Amino acid sequence: MTVKNAELKITAGLTKQFPFDKKAQIAFSGRSNVGKSSLINSLMGRKNLARVSSAPGKTITVNFYEINKEFYLVDMPGYGYAKRSPKQKKQWSALTDGYYTKDGSHGKLVAVAQLVDLKAGATEDDMTMMEWLSESGYDWFIVATKVDKLNKTQRQEALDKLSELVEGVDIIPYSSLTGEGKNEVWARIAQSLN
């Protein structure tokens, strides 16, 4: 994929702000700090367009990045951040539920990239999300992040464990540090767009 143009089009704090147009959407899901913003930046070839935050889970919004004026990469709010206020938790649920189950993409969601930190392994929240995705009927795949933190043996063990948990789902090993997996993620997105 050649990214000629990447723009943050919409930062939605309310479901009614989600875009209503013909462009396909690819959503990125995962816990806070899993590396979602880093992945989206690296896919777009931009260093700072998607904020890589040191204070995870601060803002609860859904961010729509328009690529080549053709489709959106959708940065979903992260989950599993313990220090959230009840109000922020409510906001998370309203946006997530509004997007996935109340058709906030207006039928334009073509795939969900579910991020899992390969070093930390799948959390309970990750499992809940992935079980939900399996039932949802959406096309989805896993991006196993931060693989640079593991040696060859650890990496294989972690990948084996993850693939046992979610049989039959594509898993793409990825590192935003080395760029490993970037082409594979784009190829998987291109497949979903076709």
Ligand X SMILES: Nc1nc2c(ncn2[C@@H]2O[C@H](COP(=O)(O)OP(=O)(O)O)[C@@H](O)[C@H]2O)c(=O)[nH]1
The residues binding ligand X (CB under 6 A) are: 30, 32-38, 52-53, 56, 78, 145-146, 148-149, 175-177
- Give the count of beta carbons closer than 10 Å to the beta carbon of residue 70: 12
Rounded to 5 degrees, φ, ψ at 113 are -95, 115
Q: Is 143 exposed, middle or buried (0-12, 13-18, 19+ CB in 10 A)?
A: buried
177 or 187: whose CB is closer to Mg ion? Answer: 177
Q: Of the two residues 22 and 129, which places its CB atom closer to ligand X in the complex?
A: 129
| Among 25, 37, 63, 176, interactor with Mg ion by CB under 5 A | 37
Alpha helices (H) along the chain: 36-44, 86-100, 124-136, 152-165, 182-193
Q: How far is the CB of 124 from ligand X (least distance, A)?
A: 17
Cβ at position 56, least distance to ligand X in Å:
5
Nearest to 119 by CA among 77, 81, 157: 157
Query: Please, which residue, 105 or 145, has the CB nearer to ligand X?
Result: 145
Q: Which does 139 bind (CB under 5 to 8 A by kind): Mg ion, ligand X, none?
A: none
